[in-house]
Amino acid sequence: MSNGEVTFIIERFDPEKDTAPYPQEYKVILEPGQTLLNCLNNIKWTQDQTLAYRYSCGSAICGSCAMRINGKAVLACKTQVSDCVKDGVIRLAPIGNTKVVRDLVVDLEPFWNALKRVRPYLTPDSQDAPEKEREQTAEEFSKIDPSTTCIMCGACYSDCNVLEVDNQFLGPVALAKAHRFIFDSRDGGGHQRLTEISETNGIWDCTHCGECTTRCPTETKPLSRIEEIKVKAMAEGHHGNAGARHVLGFRETVGRRGLLDENYLPLRTVGFFNIPGLLSIMPVGLRMMWRGKNPPMIPHYVDKVGEVNNIFARFEEFRK
């Protein structure tokens, strides 16, 4: 889009005087090459000094200026205005899954607390020697290269669907940071981290919606990192949790027998001898039975079962 007037509709909120957020309009003459941050600065410097938002480097390095543009989290400094205008309008709001402090500024304390839970620092191992540096090969570094690019902007945290309903979920940023240390050849705390994030609110609570990777402004791509952690956790025997048991149950029924056994899978997931877990899913089973939604007692074979068996066979060869 070339020069022209654009209407910015910005969600405003001042807890000291407002009972609820409200939209406020600003008119900006768009210049070629302007970013959203350029326009926000223009509004603040020439129209409304009370507008509150965060920014620092202006170069997509610090991650401070994450906000929602037309409903999706982006970095204001990295986003061209011309890519966001819809019918001459751009809508700005604070990032999601956070409490608004004022206007586009949010409270990031829960975000940082989630990060602290994965201990985002190297833990000494048996080879640690303070008097000399620890070298890494290019191959070793390549395993953590993507996760080291995370700038902790919170864009993925903002649009994570799990965090929207469960604020105890670690979230994509914390799990991507956990990946960075779990796969680091110099770290000695990987096994402990895998144990901790394999439990409730960790890797298995991710629903694979992909919003985190779509919103990520770097090469971190949190969903891919979470999947890699899951593979490593399974390979190292972290099976004492519902997520891992579900994977094993699916492999046992579909992979080995070619059957979609929907009665076996939930029991395998919670654990056959986990009495509290079995009791917790009983009401769901009874409601399904009452409404005629329960799966057949005799499971049916998966369509094209031969192809499915071949996929699992090739996967087992790959694992070996």
Give backbone dihedrals phi and psi of 103, rounded to 5 degrees, phi first: 50, -115
pLDDT mean across residues, the chain: 91
Q: What is the pLDDT of residue 1?
A: 45
pLDDT in tens, 60-81: 999 999 999 999 999 999 999 9
Which residue is associated with the tokens 């979230």? 171
Q: What average pLDDT does the segment 214-241 reach?
A: 94
| CATH 1.10.1060.10 in the chain, residue ranges | 109-235
pLDDT of residue 113: 96
Q: Which CATH superfamily is domain 4-106 in?
A: Beta-grasp domain (3.10.20.30)
Is there a contact between 197 and 203 (Cβ–Cβ < 8 Å)? yes
Candidate from 101-105, 186-190, 261-265 with smallest mean pLDDT: 261-265
- For CATH 3.10.20.30, list the domain ranges present in the chain: 4-106
- Rounded to whole angstroms, the Cα distance separating 125 from 291 reads 56
Nearest to 12 by CA among 42, 44, 37: 44
The tokens describing 313, both together, are 């066979």
What is the mean predicted confidence (pLDDT) over 264-290? Answer: 87
CATH fold of 109-235, please?
Fumarate Reductase Iron-sulfur Protein; Chain B, domain 2 (1.10.1060)
Q: d(Cα 261, Cα 252) in Å, to the nearest integer? A: 10
CA distances 61 to 111, 217, 223, 233, Å, are: 18, 10, 21, 31
Global pTM reads 0.88
Total number of residues shown for the chain: 320
Question: What is the rounded CA–CA span in Å between residue 41 and residue 44?
Answer: 5
Question: Residue 27 belongs to what H/E stretch?
Answer: strand 22-30
